């Protein structure tokens, strides 16, 4: 599909028809329908684990990772809904990480997305197992609907060189003085950026994107991924508990290593906006196909939860 063919380009049509918010709402509602189809029903034996899996998965997540993978899939020529099972696997993996992060032995959080956390509702044992089950289920789905390189890449993005590694250093840095920028950067790139980038790359790979486009979307992912985490840290300070759906200010209370803690709010905000500007510049060569990515970048920095 030629880049300049506006008749066939979904983003130009999109811009004419609906706002980003509408687009995200639509995708999120399709993701929810697919999640519902892909998960065992909550009446299936053993009931507790299926209830717990669904409880956290349908607790009002923003579906950012699936949306990014779907956007990349569509931007690089993918059509139809064959991306959805893999996109849903990303949301299951994200939810798995949140359930375990919230455990008493980890961040010990009582609220998430405005609701009591999994271990508060189902107990610690079921919370651990619900996280495990979501992780296993997600990989099973990737095995069924995706491609081997996708399974491998998601594995890398989430393992100790990625998300888990970031979480380890995050926990071990808690309450420590003299956290360096290097350590902070390690936490942020591993905890959030790797997963965000992998989500975009997964959509692009499944659509069959060219190497040149893969390079662009990877650079874009790294920039918005880091910005996303910095904004998260800022929101923890400036928002109310009601707005962000979890205990506001808990990062400071726990002595978490965050951008605002190290550089202050103003500098952190500037850094996030700089990254977003970079991200938008990165997708410039995509022409019309890049417009949704620009809007998504703005959405990430302007969000309030």
Gap between the Cα atoms of 68 and 70, Å rounded = 5
Q: Which is nearer to its own copies, 128 or 262 (CB)?
A: 128
Out of 67, 83, 86, 154, the residue judged to bind its own copies by CB under 8 A:
154
Nearest CB to its own copies, comparing residues 53 and 272? 53
Which of 5, 19, 36, 160 is close enough to bind its own copies by CB under 8 A? 160
Q: Which of 150, 200, 231, 300 binds its own copies (CB under 8 A)?
A: 150
**Closest CB to its own copies among residues 136, 252:** 136
Among 10, 165, 221, 225, binds its own copies (CB under 8 A): 165
Q: How far apart are CA 300 and CA 70, in angstroms?
A: 16
Q: Is 124 in the site for its own copies (CB under 8 A)?
A: yes
Using CA atoms, how far residue 223 sits from 218, 247, 291, in Å, is 9, 27, 16
211 touching its own copies, by CB under 8 A? no
136 near its own copies (CB under 8 A): yes
Q: In whole angstroms, how close is the CB of 253 to its own copies at the nearest point?
A: 17
Single out the residue of 7, 16, 46, 212 in contact with its own copies (rule: CB under 8 A): 46
Count the site residues for its own copies by CB under 8 A.
54
Per-residue mark of binding to its own copies, 1-40 (x: CB under 8 A): ---------------------------------------x
- For its own copies, which residue of 106, 215, 252, 274 counts as binding (CB under 8 A)? 106
State in angstroms the smallest separation of the CB of 142 from its own copies: 7
Nearer to its own copies, 60 or 149 (CB): 149
Q: Which residues in this chain contact its own copies in the complex, by CB under 8 A?
A: 40, 44-46, 48-50, 53, 96, 100, 103, 105-106, 123-126, 128-129, 131-133, 135-137, 139-144, 146-156, 158-161, 164-165, 167-169, 171-172, 186
């Amino acid at each position: 599909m030629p880049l300049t063919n506006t008749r066939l380009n979904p983003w130009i049509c999109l811009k004419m028809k609906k706002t980003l918010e509408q687009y995200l709402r639509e995708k999120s509602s399709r993701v929810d329908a697919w999640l519902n189809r892909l998960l065992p029903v909550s009446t299936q034996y053993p009931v507790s684990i299926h209830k717990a899996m669904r409880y956290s998965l349908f607790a009002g997540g923003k579906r950012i990772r699936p949306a990014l993978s779907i956007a990349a899939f569509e931007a690089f020529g993918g059509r139809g809904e064959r991306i959805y099972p893999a996109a849903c696997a990303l949301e299951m993996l994200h939810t798995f990480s949140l359930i375990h992060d919230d455990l008493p032995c980890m961040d010990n959080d009582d609220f998430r997305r405005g609701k009591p956390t999994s271990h508060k509702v189902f107990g610690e044992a079921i919370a651990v197992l619900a996280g495990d089950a979501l992780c296993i289920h997600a990989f099973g789905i990737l095995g069924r609907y995706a491609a081997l390189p996708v399974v491998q890449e998601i594995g890398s993005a989430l393992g100790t060189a990625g998300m888990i590694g970031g979480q380890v250093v995050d926990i071990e840095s808690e309450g420590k003085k003299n956290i360096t920028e290097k350590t902070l950067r390690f936490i942020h790139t591993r905890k959030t950026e790797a997963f965000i980038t992998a989500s975009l790359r997964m959509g692009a790979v499944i659509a069959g994107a060219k190497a040149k486009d893969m390079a662009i979307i990877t650079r874009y992912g790294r920039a918005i991924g880091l910005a996303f985490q910095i904004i998260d840290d800022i929101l923890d300070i400036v928002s109310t508990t009601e707005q962000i759906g979890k205990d506001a200010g808990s990062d400071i209370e726990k002595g978490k290593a965050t951008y605002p803690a190290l550089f202050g709010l103003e500098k952190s905000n500037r850094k996030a906006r700089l990254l977003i500007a970079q991200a938008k510049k990165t997708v410039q060569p995509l022409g019309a196909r890049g417009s949704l990515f620009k809007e998504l970048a703005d959405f990430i920095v302007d969000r309030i939860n």
